């Protein structure tokens, strides 16, 4: 087995601090040995990246597209590391990928969003990794399901993996504009709550989908407390064989890293003493909102009883559209984001319908 001769680092040993987040960078795909080497040399010159990323096997939505160079690309990456000293990581999607990566002496691996969504695939990968406690990153599943994300991490833990980190790369949503994937930052917040010691880095390239948006997503990731970034960088992104639109040029990447500011550590020192009154005011408003929701649910309960007694349907489409239209217009008049109010009432309506369903079921049992 051709394991990497240098001592393998753990995620904890790679720098992940507010002052110096972990930066992973490289092309979406390893396309040629010259391309791999040229990008690595530039990254080493700038000193902005700690780990080189590159796709060796590329899952494609439809057949016929570029699906990666396969094992030969692993040889290029090993040669790149020997020439530059830069560690590298790749994506794995099967036990065969894991075996090939470990035999090549990969420094770290990641599990992609299309794989995380399937527990069978993750279990196969976990079993292939067993006995090789290499650093592993787990990208969030395509769909916004924190349970699947955490489940994949737990499967790795159960086979003895201790060097695990998560990658927030956004979620599929048919209304994700202007981004390729909806950030849904709240999902990563929930993962942080469930696994407080787990490092979470952001992949702004896959969230943005356009290189013009990568920088602002990266800055937001730092602002919400991510531990680092995984960014796609290419020498000639317009002619890249995969994900051309979202890859950065070297100069754009270097400028972005230099310009990103991380001010999280200043909140306690400088800002906290100034915002106490505003937080108290927000607490009062939030308390009033919860009481109003209780009053609203009491009215929903009365409606449910009447509907159940007279056999009326739970959901009236016209009524729902009328609520959305009225509250949307009210939001605009008050200077609020219409989408914000729509999302709020969709959640309120969801639980109202669920409550009415329970009332109907209770009546039927009675």
Closest CA to 27 of 230, 234, 229: 234
| CATH class of domain segment(s) 22-268 | alpha beta
| pLDDT values of the chain reduced to their tens digit, one per residue, 366 residues | 333 444 567 766 765 655 678 999 999 999 999 999 999 999 999 889 999 999 999 877 778 788 889 999 999 999 999 999 999 999 999 999 999 999 999 999 999 999 999 999 999 999 999 999 899 999 999 999 999 999 999 999 999 999 999 999 999 988 888 999 999 999 999 999 999 999 999 999 999 999 999 999 999 999 888 999 999 999 999 999 999 999 999 999 999 998 886 555 555 566 777 888 899 999 999 999 999 999 999 999 999 889 888 888 888 889 999 999 999 999 999 999 999 999 999 999 999 999 889 888 887 776
Q: Are 136 and 162 in contact (CB under 8 A)?
A: no
pLDDT of 265: 53
For the full predicted model, state whether its pTM sits above 0.75: yes
Q: How far apart are CA 183 and CA 260, in angstroms?
A: 18
Alpha carbon 216 to chain centroid distance? Answer: 15
Identify any residues that bridge with 89 across adjacent strands, giving them in sequence order: 53, 108
SS3 51: strand
- Would you state the pLDDT for residue 5? 40
**Does 275-365 carry CATH code 3.40.50.10860?**
no
Question: Residue 184 — left, alpha, or beta (φ > 0 → left; ψ -120 to 50 → alpha)?
Answer: left
With beta carbons less than 8 A apart as the criterion, state whether 161 and 133 touch: yes
- DSSP code at position 139: E
**Residue 177: predicted pLDDT:** 87
What are the domain boundaries of the chain?
22-268, 275-365
What distance in Å separates the CA atoms of residue 343 and residue 330, rounded to the nearest whole number? 14
């Amino acid at each position: 087995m051709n394991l990497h001769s240098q001592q393998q680092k753990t995620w904890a040993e790679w720098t992940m601090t507010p002052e110096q987040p972990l930066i992973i960078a490289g092309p979406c795909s390893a396309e040629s040995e010259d391309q791999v080497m040229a990008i690595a040399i530039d990254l080493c010159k700038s000193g902005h990246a700690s780990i080189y990323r590159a796709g060796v096997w590329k899952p494609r939505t439809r057949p016929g597209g570029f699906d990666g160079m396969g094992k030969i690309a692993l040889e290029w990456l090993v040669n790149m590391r020997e020439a530059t000293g830069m560690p590298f990581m790749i994506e794995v999607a099967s036990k065969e990928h894991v075996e090939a990566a470990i035999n090549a002496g990969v420094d770290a691996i990641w599990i992609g969003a299309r794989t995380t969504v399937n527990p069978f695939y993750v279990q196969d990968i976990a079993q292939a990794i067993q006995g090789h406690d290499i650093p592993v990153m787990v990208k969030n599943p395509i769909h916004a399901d924190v349970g699947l994300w955490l489940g994949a991490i737990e499967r790795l833990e159960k086979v003895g993996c201790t060097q695990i980190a998560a990658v927030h790369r956004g979620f599929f949503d048919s209304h994700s504009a202007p981004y390729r994937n909806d950030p849904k930052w709240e999902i990563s917040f929930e993962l942080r709550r469930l696994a407080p010691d787990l490092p979470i880095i952001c992949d702004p390239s896959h969230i943005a989908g356009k290189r013009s948006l990568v920088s602002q997503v990266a800055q937001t990731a730092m602002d919400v407390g991510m531990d680092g970034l995984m960014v796609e960088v290419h020498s000639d992104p317009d002619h890249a064989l995969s994900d051309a639109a979202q890859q950065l040029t070297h100069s754009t990447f270097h400028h972005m890293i230099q310009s990103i500011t991380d001010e999280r550590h200043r909140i306690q020192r400088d800002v906290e003493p100034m915002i106490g009154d505003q937080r108290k005011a927000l607490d009062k408003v939030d308390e009033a909102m919860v009481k109003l929701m209780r009053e609203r649910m009491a009215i929903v309960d009365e409606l449910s009883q009447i509907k159940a007694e007279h056999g009326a349907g739970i959901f009236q489409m016209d009524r729902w559209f009328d609520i959305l239209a009225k509250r949307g217009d009210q939001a605009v008049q008050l200077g609020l984001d219409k989408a914000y109010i729509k999302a709020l009432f969709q959640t309120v309506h969801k639980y109202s319908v669920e409550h009415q369903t329970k009332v109907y079921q209770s009546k039927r049992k009675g």
